[in-house]
A and B are shown apart, each in its own frame.
Chain A
Amino acid sequence: MKYYLSVLISGILFGIGLAISGMINPQKVTDFLDVTGNWDPTLLFVMGGAVCISLPGFYLVQRREAPLFSTKFYLPSKKDLDIPLILGATLFGAGWGLAGYCPGPAIASLVSLTAEPIVFVLAMLVGQHLAKMFEAKN
């Protein structure tokens, strides 16, 4: 129960953070990416503010043997740079620049019940599925 409650609180805080900073607005994101235009630096403050908390927070949490309500930490095991990482980040960047949506804001803006986030999230799920098939083949 505590486990699921803390997951829920975490999700809610994430959604509030995305919404109050305006990151669920694709225009604010593309205005950030438009460095030679009328630049909007907000995303830089969002990432800066987030890392200011996650950097010391993760350090303190990882000094524990295990999380509070689970038996172990589920952390990425890969350490080295590889082609999938570079290719994946490139493709993601292209899609992000095209629509101004990354996964978090796209899902958070589903609450608006407008067509665009729904279409985007469905396409994103298809893309993920294609990548899973691609990975299974290689």
Chain B
Amino acid sequence: MVTTNMIIMGLSGGALIGLSSVILLASSGRIAGISGILGGLYGKWNDVERYWRIIFMLGLIAGSGIVAVINNGLVITQQTSGIYLVIAGLLVGFGTRLGSGCTSGHGVCGLGRRSKRSFVATLIFMAIAIIVVYVIRHLIS
């Protein structure tokens, strides 16, 4: 069911994410794609390439930390554990690297740039994720 809270918190949270991506592009010329920023953290990069990525990641963690302090905790209900969590992480890591982006890089920034690749990627990962959840929730269990 759609509640007013979903609409208000969804839109305002989304607006902040959009604003974040615009600030990053305007100031540093970078795309706020989390998988891409993470992928450049290690490897053959120089310090200039590495520092901004570390700072962004620390900000990301601090941002949710601020909300956790204000709201006296975060609601996090896990959907899977153990080996399935590891498989999911491997798939997300491998897939976002191969596919040049994740929900933020393709879904927020790519759509914002009106990129055809990002539009197609977003449709694909949404559709596949919907199918996977359908299989897990309605066919297996």
Which residues of A line the B interface, CB within 8 A? Answer: 2-4, 6-27, 30, 33-38, 40-55, 57-58, 61-62, 64, 66-76, 78-81, 84-104, 106-112, 114, 116-117, 119-132, 134-135
Contacts and interface: CB of A to CB of B under 8 A. Distances in A.
B20 to A, nearest CB: 4
Interface of B: 1-2, 6-7, 9-32, 34-35, 38-39, 42-43, 51-52, 55-68, 74-81, 84-100, 102-104, 106-117, 120-122, 124-134, 136-138
Contacts of B97: 88, 127-128, 131-132, 135
Contacts, number: 485
A104 B39 contact: no
A28 to B, nearest CB: 8
A6 B23 contact: yes
A35 B130 contact: yes
Nearest to A54: B112
- The DSSP consensus for interface residues of chain A is helix
14 contacts: A16-B13, A22-B13, A50-B21, A53-B18, A53-B22, A58-B21, A67-B29, A70-B29, A88-B121, A101-B89, A108-B61, A109-B64, A109-B76, A117-B76
Contact of B75 (A25, A104, A129): A25
A37 B79 CA distance: 15
8 A-B pairs with the lowest CB-CB distances in the bound complex, closest first: A15-B63, A11-B59, A88-B99, A127-B93, A123-B89, A21-B13, A49-B14, A53-B18
